[in-house]
Structure 1
Amino acid sequence: MQPVPRITVEVPVLTVGAGPSDYEALASYVNALRRPQGLHMTLLHIGILADFAQDVTDWTKGITSAGEAARRTTGWLQGLPVLDGFAGTSEQVIVLGDGGISGLEVDVPDRVHDYQVSLVQGLHDLLDRLLVDNVDDFILSSPALGYRYPHWVPHVAVGRPLSRDHRPRTIAPLTLVFGPSRIRNGRFLTAAD
């Protein structure tokens, strides 16, 4: 059975460093180095749309139906402005979340931070329109959204940690070039009414 796709707003990684050897050198810091073709930076995670919509319905005790939540969320996502491509730099490999993923912490331009903040503000506005009260509590407790921390750290997941030592590792500076923002798995969104 095919897994249900997760919906995110992300920017694809176009290049890491000066060439393939720069990326391959990261294998000395992580296990199971991911293929460079799929690398991306997540700006906003929605999760499985049906699960997110059900979280809204549960939170509102049925005042907002799952169908309405899914339709409005789809319309909001499809109406988002596109963030133009940009370059960032990384000088650290960090361990993310529960310790199962290693990533490059990326220093990004201010406009990327501003765009990410606008996405979170837009999500707040969407949830207000969906009649969700205590929006911050909802965002941090929704299983679909999966947020554990209120603070966004720009990063690109690249593999698994080499060891249980979760301290950041300093690396030679790498330039990362990102393409324009996109909705990952956007083709699975149903057209908004």
Structure 2
Amino acid sequence: MTLLHVGILDELAVDIAAWTNGRAEPGKVLPEISSWLTELPVLQGFLGKSDKLVPLGGGRLMGLEVDVPQEVHDYQALLVQGLHVLLDELGLDNIDDFILGSPALGYRSPRWLPHIAVGKAKSRHEPPTEIAPVALEFGDSRIRHRESLPAADS
């Protein structure tokens, strides 16, 4: 389950540079983003459940909508607040507009829907579907592809 999607970092740095009219250069932004990501607190593992298959990504994908404990929602909100602080420190204005408009971030909605992507939809207009309840166990949070993060400045 993705708690905060930041996309491909090189593309995010280009989006930031464009938003700031070049004031935030990609070469200087990347280590700061990398440092911020590696300093994020870890969310301990948790249990969830799903009983619904929902369309994602404008209907191109399907996913399990997951009911998660409140502390997961609180952690995700903390991540978004931290992203706001990071973007502010990088010199961005209208941060909510940037987050919703950045192709690298890829957000279509300001509302986070806990989900697990499970594959392509049969058709573009696949409706939500009730399924037999599924219990889900999640491990501690981690950064996907952590080994590919650029080195932070010392």
TM exceeding 0.5: yes
1:126 to 86, 97, 122: 86
CA displacement, residues 49-86 of structure 1 (integer Å, 9 cap, x when unaligned): 11101111111111111112111100000000110000
Instruction: Please give the alpha-carbon distance, in whole angstroms, between the structure 2 residues aligned to 1:170 and 1:62.
Output: 48
After TM superposition, the runs of 4+ consecutive aligned structure 1 residues lying more than 4 A away are none
Q: How many residues align?
A: 153
In the alignment, does 2:127 pair up with 1:167?
yes
Partner of 1:65: 25
Question: How much is the aligned-residue C-alpha RMSD, in angstroms?
Answer: 1.0
Higher mean displacement: 158-167 or 140-149: 158-167
Aligned pairs for 1:2-21 (under 5 A) are none
Q: Which residue in 1 is equivalent to 2:142?
A: 182
- Which blocks of at least 5 consecutive residues in structure 1 are unaligned? 1-40
With over 3 angstroms needed to count, the CA separation of the structure-2 counterparts of 1:164 and 1:147, relative to structure 1, is closer
- Structure 1 residues 80 and 162: CA distance shift in structure 2, 3 A: same
Aligned-residue sequence identity (percent) comes to 57
8 A contact 2:60–2:123 mirrored in 1: no
Contact 2:60 2:124 in 1 (8 A): no
One-letter amino acid matched to 2:147: R
Does residue 149 of structure 2 align to residue 157 of structure 1? no
Q: Secondary structure of 1:182's match?
A: coil
The structure that has the greater radius of gyration is 1
After TM superposition, the structure 1 = structure 2 runs for residues 44-83 of structure 1, keeping only pairs within 5 Å, are 44-83=4-43
Report matched runs for 1:82-121 at 5 Å: 82-121=42-81
- Segments of structure 2 that go 5 or more residues without pairing to the other structure are none
What per-residue deviation string (whole Å, max 9, x for no partner) do you get for residues 102-160 of structure 1? 10000000000001001100000000000000000111111111111110100001112
